[in-house]
Each structure stands twice: as C-alpha cells, then as structure tokens.
Structure 1
Amino acid sequence: MAIMITDECINCGACEPECPNTAIYEGGVEWTWGGGTELTEVDFGDGTVVGGRDPQGPVSNEFYYIVADKCTECMGFHEEPQCAAVCPVDCCVPDPEHEEDEETLLAKKAWLHAEA
C-alpha cells in the first residue's frame, strides 16, 4: 500500500528529499506527474491525458503530503519506505485507502521511471 502522512506532521521536511519518486510535497504546493520521473504524459485510459509537467492541485494545504499514485513504498529502491525511516514523529504510515501488493508497486516504479 502507499504511504500517507498523518495530521501529526510537524512540517519538518525530512521526508521530501528521501523519496525516489518525488511523491512527497510540502503542503499547499502543486505537484506534477513528471517531477522526479520519466513521465512526459499520463493517459488514464478514459480519454483523459495529462502532461507530465502540468500542475496538479495540492493534496493538503496544511502539511506535507504523499501523492499515492506516485508512491511505491520505495520498492525497488530501498528495503523500507524512506519517509517513514527519517520521520521524527512517525507520521508516515501505510495508507489503508491505497493497498497494493509488491508486484503492483514494482510495476508502478517501472512505469514512473520508464523502465522497459
């Protein structure tokens, strides 16, 4: 499952530079699919196509947040989610709304980083 940041976040920012997928953003900051990835566009399969550099609205305006569709729990990069490893208040926890198995997380990593 993806990782989420709870409202116990103290906005220290320790997690953001640790994310290999650039899935973590400061509260109130827009994000992009392409930021930190190889994506130039995202085709959602329903006729919706979004440019990789097109700004997306923040998930949270109050504290750091993780874009679940970019989070791979650091699978394929590290042994454990790095955001959780460096968080001083343990607010980076599994997101029950986004449960994914190892195969799915590795496929997401390959998609984000355009691996053949």
Structure 2
Amino acid sequence: MALIIEDSCINCDMCDPECPNKAITLGEEVYEIDPEKCTECVGHYEKPTCMSVCPIDCIKKDPQHIESEAQLLAKFLRIHP
C-alpha cells in the first residue's frame, strides 16, 4: 500500500529529502506521494522514513493503493534494478 499525505500537512520539508524513491513532491498546497514510486521504504528500511520524520503525523496508508509486502518489494526491484 502506498502512503498518502493528508491535507493537515504543514509543508515542513522533512519528508521529501528522506524518500529513497523520490516519490514525494510539493503539490499545489501540500506535499504529495506518487503511489507508483512509493514502496513504503520496503527494500530500503524497516519502516517508512517519511512517517518517522513527520512532526505532525499526517502521513498515512493510502486505502486507494493497497499492496502486499511482496508487491511493494516487486515495485522496489522495478525502480532499483
């Protein structure tokens, strides 16, 4: 499952540099996560680094992009062959 940044984001710039897949970009109002690039840090870290550094806990699992750990790992392998 990819992650999503909620509208309560304060644009603190903490998450963007932490993403190993470069899935996070500044949207029109708040940061956004590209579900095609987000692996929830599977293949890189034990848990999503963006969630770890978010000071207001506004990064959640995206129910619109449900993926198993195997699917996230396959996506990681496509992004980082």
Please give the TM-score of this superposition, normalised by the length of structure 2. 0.97
Structure 2: any 5+ residue segments left out of the alignment? none
Secondary structure, in 3 states, of the residue corresponding to 1:69?
A: coil
- Is 1:109 the counterpart of 2:71? The answer is no
Q: CA deviation at 1:26?
A: 1.1
CA shift digits 1:31-90 (9 cap, x unpaired): xxxxxxxxxxxxxxxxxxxxxxxxxxxxxx110000011000000100101100000000
Query: 1:2 is matched with which residue?
Result: 2
Q: C-alpha separation between the residues in 2 aligned to 1:62 and 1:4?
A: 14
C-alpha separation between the residues in 2 aligned to 1:95 and 1:106?
17
Q: How does 1:26-105 map to 2 (within 5 A)?
A: 26-27=26-27, 61-105=28-72
What letter is aligned with 1:4? I
**Alignment coverage as a number of residue pairs:** 81
* Structure number with bigger Rg: 1
User: What root-mean-square deviation, in Å, do the aligned CA atoms of Structure 1 and Structure 2 show?
Assistant: 0.6
Counterpart amino acid of residue 86 in structure 1:
V
Larger helix fraction of residues: 2
